[in-house]
Chains A and B, each alone.
Chain A
Amino acid sequence: MQLTLEQIQVNREGFSLQASGTFRQGVHLLTGRVGSGKSTLGEILGSVLEPESGMVTKEGIRTSVLSMQFPEYHITTTTVKEEILSWGHDPDLVLKTAGLSGREPDDILTLSRGELKRLHLACLLLGRYDLMILDEPFAGLDEEARYWISSHLSDDHDRIIIIISHDITTLPRIDHLWEMQDGVLLDIGEIPGSLHSWKTAPHLIRYLLKNDSDLSGLSWKDLAEAVCRIHG
C-alpha cells in the first residue's frame, strides 16, 4: 500500500507548490510553517484538489478520507446522532469513543469546537480507511483530548496516516517525517534515523537532540522520556 506523488505542481496567486515522494504504510508527519502549503498538499493527497501538473498514484488504497482543519466544515446534518449516521457509524460506539455519551439528540451546532473535533475524529478513527489525511488534528483540543487522539493513532500502523501539523508536543509514534518549505515538499526521512539531519527542527527538538542524543522518536512519550533523561 503506497501513495506516490510525481512532480506535482500547483500555482495560484503568487504561491507555488511542488511535491514528489512516496508515502508508505505507517504514520507520517507533514510539518512546516503556517502558509507553507501543507493544507493544499493535504487536499491533493486526499484527491479533492487536482494538481496543475504531475501525477498522484495510489497502490492498494481502496478507501481514503481527508479531515479538514476545522470540524465545522464537516457538518452536513442537524443533530449529533444524524452526523454520526452520516459517516455510517453506530452512534453509541462513536459517542463512547469520543467521551460524549448521552449527547445523541443534541443540536450539532451546540457542541463546542473541542467536542465537535472529538466527535469528528472518533468517526474517522472508527472508519476503515486505507489512507487518512488529518489536517491539524490537535487544533482546538485540550491536552487530555490530544493524548486521546495520539494514543489511538500510535496503535495504528496498518494503513497510511498523514498528520499535517506544526504542533509537535503531543504527537503519536511517527514513522516518517516530511516538511513543507516555501511550497516545496522535503522528505526528511524515517524517524528516528533522520532526526539529527532535520535542519529546521523546532527549538524543543533541537534542544533535546543537543542534550540527549538518544531521542528515539517524536511521540510525546519519546519527548517526555528525553526530558527526564536530561534532568536525571
Chain B
Amino acid sequence: MQDPRIRLGGVLLLSIVSFLSLTGALLTMLWWVICTDHKTSFGDLKTAVMVFILPCIAAVATQLSGGDGVSYLIRISVVLVIASWAYSKRYPGELLDVSVWLLGKTYGFDLGLVGEMSISTTEILADEFRRTRIALSQKGQKLTGSNLPPVIASLLVRQLRLARERACVLAIHGYQGGGSLCPAFVTSSTDIAAGTFCVLIFAVSLIV
C-alpha cells in the first residue's frame, strides 16, 4: 500500500473496530490477509514474544477474574498486528505529509513535525539501546539491576542533548510555528480497493 493517507486512516478504523468487537477483529484479520503483504515490524520471534507478553498477562488476569480474556487477547493481538504492519510500511516524512494534507500548514505542520520527531526519537532510542548492549558485552557484562540506572541515565541525557540540538536547528531555520509543505501521494487502484474494504468492515462491525 503506497498511499499513507489510506494506510493510516484504514489502520485507525480497523483498530477501533478490532478493539470494540470480536467480529471486527476477525474481519480486520481477513483484511490483513487479503490486502497486505503480511509483513510486520516485529523483526524476530523474541521481539514478538516481548510485544505480546503484556496482553497475554492481562488476558489471563481478565479470564481469572470472570471476564472474557480470550476475546480480549484476540482483539488486542489484531490491533498490534495491523499497527506493526502499518509501521513496517512507513517512510520518513509520511506523518508530516498526511498531517499537512489533513490539517493544513499551521496546525497540521506542527502536529506532523511532533509525530515525525517522536518516531525518529523512538528509533534512535532503540538503536542506542542496542549499542549499549554491545558496550556491556565488550566489558563482559550483561544488563542487570545494578547497571540499569546509569545506562538509562546515559540514554536520557543523550536524548535530551539531541532534543536541544534539534531545537537549535529549528530555531536557526526560523521556525516559530507552522511551515510550508506540498505533500504528494501516489494512490494505486489496490490502495483504493483496500481502503474501501476498510470502510465496509467499519460499517459492518458497527451494525453487527
B154 within 8 A of A: yes
Structural contact, B150 and A72, CB atoms closer than 8 A: no
Structural contact, A68 and B131, CB atoms closer than 8 A: yes
**Chain A residues with Cβ under 8 A from B139's Cβ?**
76, 86-88
A101 within 8 A of B: no
Structural contact, B158 and A74, CB atoms closer than 8 A: no
**Chain B residues with Cβ under 8 A from A75's Cβ?**
135, 150-151, 154
- Binary per-residue interface labels of chain B (94-131) against chain A in the complex, 1 for a CB within 8 Å, 0 otherwise: 00000000000000000000000000000000001001
Complex CA gap A52/B154 in Å reads: 32
Structural contact, A76 and B131, CB atoms closer than 8 A: no
Structural contact, B138 and A65, CB atoms closer than 8 A: yes
B208 within 8 A of A: no
Structural contact, A66 and B138, CB atoms closer than 8 A: yes
Complex CA gap A68/B132 in Å reads: 10
**Chain A residues with Cβ under 8 A from B137's Cβ?**
48
The residues in B between 146 and 190 inclusive whose CB is less than 8 angstroms from any CB of A are: 147, 149-151, 153-154, 157-158
**Chain B residues with Cβ under 8 A from A76's Cβ?**
132, 135-136, 139, 141, 147, 150-151, 154
A55 within 8 A of B: no
With A72-B158, A75-B150, A109-B154 in contact, do A66 and B134 touch (Cβ < 8 Å)?
yes
**Chain A residues with Cβ under 8 A from B151's Cβ?**
75-76
> Which chain A residue lies CB-closest to B157?
A109
Structural contact, B153 and A78, CB atoms closer than 8 A: yes
User: Which residues of A are in contact with B by a Cβ distance under 8 Å?
Assistant: 43, 48, 65-66, 68, 72-78, 82, 86-88, 108-109
In the assembled complex, 7 residue pairs joining A and B whose CB atoms fall closer than 8 Å, in A order, are A66-B134, A66-B138, A75-B135, A76-B141, A78-B149, A108-B154, A109-B157
User: Which residues of B are in contact with A by a Cβ distance under 8 Å?
Assistant: 128, 131-132, 134-139, 141, 147, 149-151, 153-154, 157-158
Q: A68-B131, A76-B141, A78-B150 are in contact. List 14 more A-B contacts (CB 8 A).
A: A48-B134, A66-B134, A68-B135, A72-B158, A75-B135, A75-B150, A75-B154, A77-B147, A78-B153, A82-B150, A86-B139, A86-B141, A87-B139, A109-B157
